[in-house]
Chains A and B, each alone.
Chain A
Amino acid sequence: MKIKIRKTESVAIIDLSGKLMGGPDADVFKETIRGLIQEGYKKVLVNLHKVPWVNSTGLGILIAGYTTLKREGGTLKLTHVTDRIESILMITKLGTIFESFSDEEVALKSFESS
């Protein structure tokens, strides 16, 4: 898993690429979220365009990020979710937790009202 970060005024966009499968990636993602919170970014958009699939431990990484941000009064949303990821979110009912968007602009606008 590779991470790139872009920032708008109030939202940090995390571009993930590769497979999201747990293991060492979990710590890297956790540190990234902590770093963003320290910089004052509590609204995070995770772009999954280049992540073909995730497994349950990969979902755990996203959930851990979501709960960390929620505790700080922030939130984590998803964009460009592939069909395979959509499927696993639906099966695990996490589609009800993660707001997900196909368009980055729309996703960024949604943070303005939250």
Chain B
Amino acid sequence: MLEICLPSNIEYLPLVDTICQAFCVWAGVPSGMGDDISMAVIEAATNALVHGNKCDESKKVRAVFEKRGCKIVFSVTDEGSGFDPEKVPSPVDECNLLKDCGRGIYIMKQVMDTVEFEQAKGGGTTIRLAKRISQNSDGRILCIDYGEKRLGMALSDELGITAQPLGKIEAESREVQLKELKKVAEERGVAEVVVGFPLTLKGEVSHAASTVTAFATDLNKHLCLPVVTWDERLSTKQSEKVLIESGMRRKKRKQVVDSVAAAVILQSYLDARRNK
């Protein structure tokens, strides 16, 4: 992670460009993509300096550059009083094309995969920009064993060989589930998500399947990552068996069975993928 702190003066923008370009080279961004990414980061910095901090040099702009798995993420934070990004009209509408401002957010959205705005309670806005820089699955794979109240999670290593249990999320609200999963995906450098798909023992689609399909679709939209479903038959029973064999007591088994089930599903997915 690289962090820089700038006084609110546009004279520093070329420095942001230079640092961003160097970061892109370091992070292995494909050649040709660095200029566009830098264009978006310069816009985030311009927005923070000019609109957020109103060019008041006593206020600072913080920029954080991170590589997370196969994504790069930039966060730019100002000390201003905030704004509503939804209220900025589209600069490419015919009637706005000749306006001399209002293009920054549009440029960021065109160049990056995701653009998020976060207003802090005490003032200050963070713009977070993310871009996937590689299609190769060299990030980790997150597996979710879906339950309406609990999501068991497991994570692969970066090479996609082994699966490890990764705890669970206990929440009934879809919004909370997605928010928590996004946090996990960003923190762990997740490149792909596998969701356990409930088939009956005969291999037919079960009643729960439509709920899981809807969940997988939501996940794909919210995380901007590829989401695949994978046969989860027997995973919970198999993981109970694994835990009983390991001598774990019933109460403790109940706490970890969801994430172990996710690990069983993920290991089966990883093995099948390797043997393809």
What residues of chain A have their CB less than 8 Å away from a CB belonging to chain B? 19, 21-23, 53, 55-57, 59-61, 63-64, 66-67, 83-84, 87-88, 91-94, 96-97
Closest to A93 in B: B92
Known: A23-B55, A56-B43, A60-B100. A91 touches B13 (CB 8 A): no
22 A-B pairs whose Cβ atoms sit less than 8 Å apart in the complex: A21-B46, A22-B10, A53-B42, A55-B42, A55-B46, A56-B43, A56-B46, A56-B102, A56-B103, A57-B50, A59-B103, A60-B100, A60-B101, A60-B103, A63-B98, A88-B107, A91-B39, A91-B106, A91-B110, A92-B91, A94-B97, A97-B97
- B17 / chain A contacts, CB cutoff of 8 Å: 53
- Interface SS, B side: helix
B220, chain A: closest CB distance, angstroms: 26
> How far does the alpha carbon of A60 sit from the alpha carbon of B55 in the complex, in Å?
17
Main secondary structure of the interface of A (DSSP, over half): helix
Q: How far is the CB of B96 from chain A (nearest CB, A)?
A: 10
From 50 to 89 in chain B, residues with beta carbon under 8 angstroms from any chain A beta carbon are 50, 55
The residue of chain A having its C-beta at the shortest distance from the C-beta of B103 within the complex is A56
Are the C-beta atoms of A93 and B97 separated by less than 8 Å? yes
Asked if B250 is at the interface (CB within 8 A of a chain A CB), the reply is no
In the complex, per-residue mask of B115-154: 1 if CB is within 8 Å of any chain A CB, else 0 = 0000000000000000000000000000000000000000
Known: A87-B36, A92-B106. A57 touches B46 (CB 8 A): yes
B30 interfacial by beta-carbon distance below 8 Å? no
Interface residues of B (CB under 8 A from A): 10-11, 13-14, 17, 35-36, 39, 42-43, 46, 50, 55, 91-92, 97-104, 106-107, 110-111
A56 contacts which of B11, B14, B97, B107 (Cβ < 8 Å)?
Answer: B107
Q: Count CB-based A-B contacts (< 8 Å).
A: 70
User: Smallest Cβ distance from B14 to chain A, in angstroms?
Assistant: 5
Chain B residues in 8 Å Cβ range of A88 = 39, 107
A83 with B46: in contact, given A22-B10, A56-B104, A66-B98 (CB under 8 Å)? no
Chain B hits for A55, CB < 8 A: 13, 39, 42-43, 46, 104
Contact B46 A19 (CB under 8 A): no
Cβ–Cβ contact A23 & B10, under 8 A: yes
Measured CA separation A64–B99 after assembly (Å):
8
B35/A87 in contact, CB under 8 A = yes
Shortest distance from the beta carbon of B42 to any chain A beta carbon, whole Å: 5
Alpha-carbon distance A66/B99, docked complex (angstroms): 11
18 other A-B residue contacts (CB within 8 Å) besides A22-B46, A93-B97: A19-B13, A21-B13, A23-B11, A53-B35, A53-B42, A55-B43, A56-B43, A56-B46, A56-B101, A56-B104, A57-B10, A59-B100, A61-B100, A63-B98, A64-B100, A87-B35, A88-B107, A91-B39
